[in-house]
């Protein structure tokens, strides 16, 4: 049996350029990377993430090297090479190797082949003049922070004292965080299992474990049997926030609206004997909920439906608790999905805010009096957090706010003594508001 040769760098660069082009045309990075041939996919994903975290600077440098925008495929390949060449934390490849392999990728890609000499000239000029070229784009906010201008302005407006910290944190890869299945194991027990196989890790929160180095889930002991799941520590707060303080006199009827891929549904079921209805508008993503629950040995009523279109799926019995993980910008998880910042448009924010408001107003009536509704978004934009809930409470006298975390701001590994809504920690950006429905 012959072993396939390892992928060559030019092949990976060729695929990364294709991923970038797909993202620029509106396709998510997850989908674009998923279409890459399996043998190339791990390397392409790693390189794509590096490129997306330096894309603002790369685009500014390309404009210096070629003021007239080249054809899209050529532009994408140039930006890929420039992004990797100008990574501040260093690239895994020598500069001349990157240039040579980028030119080779150009020669072997039909849309870029006629311009291989142009690609070569641009990149070699960059190697000769990189200090001067970088100095020319230093004052460009998009080049400095590697986010779209509107995004930078929004973060700066929302968090005037912390905006630089938040933008820097967004460019740090997030750690791999596990959630133990409380029905099957404990933090201490699982940490010992990891230690036995040489994996360094430590506890976070009540159910979380942070791995020092990420790994494939197939390498995690007991993953296939449902002992652990992958879930950021900020997201692990949702289930206990909703369940703590609720009555244990009867099995609770819980709605997880917008539930896919099912991580929060599973955590609810791991922590309590509750009857969960899990909704998602996407039938394909509902299948992901089933798969995750099956692996964990759990069950819920899964329905493919629009949560706001209540008449199409509700059985008329009020819920004791509702978890609304609402569609949002994803501005709190860009370190894990760096494509989001380049996919989102400023106009998207207003549309998402309207969707969130509609879901809140439609779900409150089907909550039993005295019941709880937990609203959350993986966003750091105030419009999707405190501003949304402030408007909702002013328009719905039957809803009252309970103690809740509010905005959880990601700071990465940066330490700060400044006071924010949350303690400084290495987690994704989230917003939580716990509401209670007044009794009539």
Angle between helices 72-85 and 55-65 (to 10 degrees): 120
Domain shared by 352 and 412, yes or no: yes
The encoded tokens of residue 6 equal 């390892």
Rounded average pLDDT over 383-389: 98
Domain shared by 142 and 274, yes or no: no
Asked whether residue 152 is domain-assigned, the answer is: no
For residue 378, indicate whether it is catalytic. yes
pLDDT tens digits for range 6-52 = 789 999 999 999 999 999 999 999 999 999 999 999 999 999 999 99
In the chain, the percentage of residues whose pLDDT exceeds 70 is 94
Domain shared by 185 and 287, yes or no: no
Asked whether residue 153 is domain-assigned, the answer is: no
Domain shared by 250 and 366, yes or no: yes
Domain shared by 220 and 271, yes or no: no
Q: Identify the CATH number of the domain in which residue 202 sits.
A: 3.30.70.1170
Domain shared by 188 and 138, yes or no: no
Domain shared by 299 and 195, yes or no: no
In the block, residue with structure tokens 């001349």: 96
Q: Domain count of the chain?
A: 3
Q: Give the model's pLDDT for residue 424.
A: 40
Closest among 164, 213, 204 to 180, alpha carbons compared: 204
Asked whether residue 429 is domain-assigned, the answer is: yes
Question: CA angle, 149 as apex, 67 and 331 as ends, to 5°?
Answer: 130
The encoded tokens of residue 195 equal 């230690």
Domain shared by 81 and 124, yes or no: yes
Determine contact, residues 283/311, Cβ cutoff 8 Å: no
Domain shared by 112 and 194, yes or no: no
Closest among 423, 426, 432, 434 to 378, alpha carbons compared: 432
Determine contact, residues 270/276, Cβ cutoff 8 Å: no
Q: Give the model's pLDDT for residue 421.
A: 40
pLDDT tens digits for range 316-336 = 999 999 999 999 999 999 999
Domain shared by 347 and 419, yes or no: yes
Q: Answer with the one of 195, 230, 265 that is the final residue of a domain.
A: 230
Asked whether residue 2 is domain-assigned, the answer is: no
pLDDT tens digits for range 151-186 = 999 999 999 999 999 999 999 999 999 999 999 999
Q: Identify the CATH number of the domain in which residue 21 sits.
A: 1.10.940.10
Q: Put residue 352 in one of left, alpha, beta given phi > 0 → left and psi -120 to 50 → alpha.
A: alpha
Asked whether residue 53 is domain-assigned, the answer is: yes
By residue range, what is the domain housing residue 417? Answer: 246-437
Q: Identify the CATH number of the domain in which residue 423 sits.
A: 3.40.50.150
Residues β-bridged to residue 208: 179, 204
* Averaged pLDDT score across all residues of the chain: 93
Determine contact, residues 251/275, Cβ cutoff 8 Å: yes
Asked whether residue 131 is domain-assigned, the answer is: yes
Q: Give the model's pLDDT for residue 411.
A: 81
**Cβ within 8 Å of residue 427, ≥6 positions away:** 177, 232, 233, 234, 408, 410
Asked whether residue 258 is domain-assigned, the answer is: yes
**Cβ within 8 Å of residue 102, ≥6 positions away:** 10, 13, 77, 78, 80, 81, 119, 123
Q: Answer with the one of 185, 206, 230 that is the final residue of a domain.
A: 230
In the block, residue with structure tokens 């420039």: 82
The active-site residue out of 286, 328, 376, 378 is 378
Domain shared by 201 and 284, yes or no: no
Rounded average pLDDT over 194-202: 96
Asked whether residue 192 is domain-assigned, the answer is: yes
């Amino acid at each position: 049996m012959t072993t396939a040769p390892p992928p060559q760098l030019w092949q990976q660069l060729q695929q990364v350029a294709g991923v970038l082009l797909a993202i620029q045309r509106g396709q998510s990075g997850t989908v674009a990377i998923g279409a890459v041939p399996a043998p190339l996919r791990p390397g392409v994903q790693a390189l794509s993430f590096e490129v997306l975290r330096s894309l603002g600077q790369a685009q500014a440098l390309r404009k210096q090297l070629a003021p007239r925008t080249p054809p899209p495929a050529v532009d994408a390949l140039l930006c890929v090479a420039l992004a990797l060449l100008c990574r501040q934390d260093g690239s895994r490849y020598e500069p001349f190797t990157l240039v040579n392999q980028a030119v080779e990728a150009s020669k072997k890609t039909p849309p870029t082949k006629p311009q291989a000499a142009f690609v070569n000239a641009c990149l070699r000029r960059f190697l000769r003049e990189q200090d001067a070229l970088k100095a020319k784009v230093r004052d460009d906010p998009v080049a400095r922070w590697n986010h779209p201008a509107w995004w930078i302005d929004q973060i700066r407006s929302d968090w005037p004292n912390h905006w630089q910290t938040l933008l820097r944190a967004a460019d740090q890869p997030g750690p791999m965080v596990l959630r133990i299945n409380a029905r099957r194991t404990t933090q201490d027990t699982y940490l010992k299992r990891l230690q036995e196989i040489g994996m360094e890790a430590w506890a976070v929160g009540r159910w979380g474990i942070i791995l020092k180095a990420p790994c494939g889930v197939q390498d995690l002991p007991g993953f296939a049997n449902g002992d652990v799941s992958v879930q950021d520590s900020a997201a692990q707060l949702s289930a206990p926030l909703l369940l703590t303080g609720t009555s244990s006199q009867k099995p609770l009827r819980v709605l997880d609206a917008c539930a896919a891929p099912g991580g929060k549904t599973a955590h609810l079921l791991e922590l309590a004997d509750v009857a969960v209805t899990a909704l998602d508008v996407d039938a394909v993503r509902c299948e992901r909920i089933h798969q995750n629950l099956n692996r964990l040995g759990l069950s819920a009523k899964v329905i493919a439906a629009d949560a706001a279109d209540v008449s199409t799926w509700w059985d008329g019995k009020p819920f004791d608790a509702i978890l609304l993980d609402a569609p949002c910008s994803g501005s709190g998880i860009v370190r894990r999905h760096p494509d989001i910042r380049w996919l989102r448009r400023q106009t998207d924010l207003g549309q998402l805010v309207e969707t969130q408001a509609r879901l809140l107003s439609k779900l409150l009536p089907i909550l039993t009096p005295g019941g709880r509704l937990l609203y959350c978004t993986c966003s750091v934009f105030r419009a999707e957090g405190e501003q949304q809930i402030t408007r909702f409470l002013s328009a719905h006298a039957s809803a009252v706010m309970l103690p809740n975390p509010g905005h959880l701001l990601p700071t990465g590994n940066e330490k700060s003594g400044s006071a924010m809504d949350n303690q400084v920690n290495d987690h994704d950006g989230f917003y939580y508001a716990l509401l209670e429905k007044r009794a009539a």
